[in-house]
Amino acid sequence: MNDENRNSKIRGCIFGGAIGDALGAPIEFASYESIVQKYGKDGIDGYVEHSNGFGEFTDDTQLTLFTIEGLIRFIIRGRCKGISSLELVMYHAYQRWMYTQGEIVKSIYYEKISPKNNGWLINEPLLHKRRAPGLTCLASLRRDVRIDRELGSLDYKINDSKGTGGIMRVAPVAFFSPNPFSTAIQIAALTHTHPLGYLTAGFFAEIIWNCFEGDTIIDSVMKTISLVRNESNFDCEEIIEILQEAIQLAKEYKDGSISLTVQECIEQLGGGWVAEEALAITVFVSLVYENNFENGVLAAVNHSGDSDTTGSMVGQLLGVWLGIKTIPQKWIDNLIGSTIIESISKDIIEKTYYRFNSYNNPRELDSYWERYPGW
């Protein structure tokens, strides 16, 4: 794959996610009936939140941005200091998101969280807005590690949540880690410690990675299933079962052997309020619309379930598969905060992806430390 293609896939994924999130945001809690009643028989066909036609992303994208920030800082720290803890660096990144939400953060190291001399992302005013943040993420990050000692992890349960807060923020792991499944499950388990809350995140990051490497969506899903079955010790059969249901539904919908509408198929898979349903809906919609970003993302938000999360995840998957050029330009131009998305995509492309293995010039690293301090 050439550089242009890789850049297009990375930008497609990050923009696609933010756009799907922004499209779904105003109808996150609306039933399908009320959506068609208000917007016509096809539901929404563009941004409807602001009267000037602009769209605005929510916590799904905010947390994805802080995931990217954490991953870059993790790499920078490792190269500069020779030692880096993924869990701690990611925890600090999410604590900075908490700060933007007006929460009192309880880190031992306050300077790692507060905006002063702490990189660029936390200093973006637009991010200091509460956009229906997920309650589990908030509760998990409110824990005071001075008292509670341990962070959420595969070995240390802090809750029994399989909400979508883990899966909806891990797609960019695919651009950083040689092993997206295991990296994503660790990151998701910081806040969601029901196995379905974090294992689904591993599936999603691995599927995104396979698509990034050039596999079709169906091949990416099948490869991920066989990787998890053959090379991990986790029991993922419940996830595999619902994925197979999604694949079968997509096949039957496409060959006309069922008479359900796309929206009815989505609702058959669930509302997407829990992670395995969000994953299944994402795979179903992306398979049905594998050649059409616009229609895919609209289908992913026009249903009774968790529209911004399924919109964001379908946007990420179709975006990485189809690339940035398939995303309608008007949705990029009218996205509030598109310059933030553009900057961070550039950082992935220029500073991290290509040079992931060639950060040998310490002076260059020093200058990068300013934008992404390594903690």
- Would you tell me which residues interact with Mg ion (CB under 5 A)? 58-60, 308
The smaller minimum CB distance to Mg ion, of residues 59 and 290, is found at: 59
- Shortest Å distance, C-beta 272 to Mg ion: 11
C-beta of residue 230 within 8 angstroms of C-beta of residue 264: no
Return the closest-CA partner of residue 288 out of 314, 270, 308. Answer: 314
Least distance between Mg ion and beta carbon 51 (Å): 21
Minimal CA–CA distance to 27: which of 303, 294, 295, 332?
303
Q: Terminal CA-to-CA distance of the chain, rounded, Å?
A: 33
Minimum CB distance to Mg ion smaller for 73 or for 131: 131
8 vs 62, beta carbon nearer Mg ion: 62
Task: Select 29 or 354, whichever has its Cβ closest to Mg ion.
Answer: 29
Chain residue at closest Cβ approach to Mg ion: 58
Phi, psi of 192 (to 5 degrees): -125, 110
Q: Which of 202, 190, 267, 272 is nearest to 240 (CA)?
A: 202
Residue 33: how many other CB atoms lie within 10 Å: 9
Q: Environment class of residue 203 by beta-carbon count within 10 Å: exposed (0-12), middle (13-18) or buried (19+)?
A: buried
Give the shortest CB-315-to-Mg ion separation in angstroms.
Answer: 13
Cβ 309 to Mg ion shortest distance, Å: 6
Nearest residue (CB) to Mg ion, 22 versus 211: 22
> In terms of CB distance, is 71 or 313 closer to Mg ion?
313
Residues 187, 100: Cα–Cα separation, whole Å: 20
Task: Report the amino acid identity of residue 124.
Answer: E
Q: Answer for the pair 331, 46: CB distance below 8 angstroms, yes or no.
A: yes
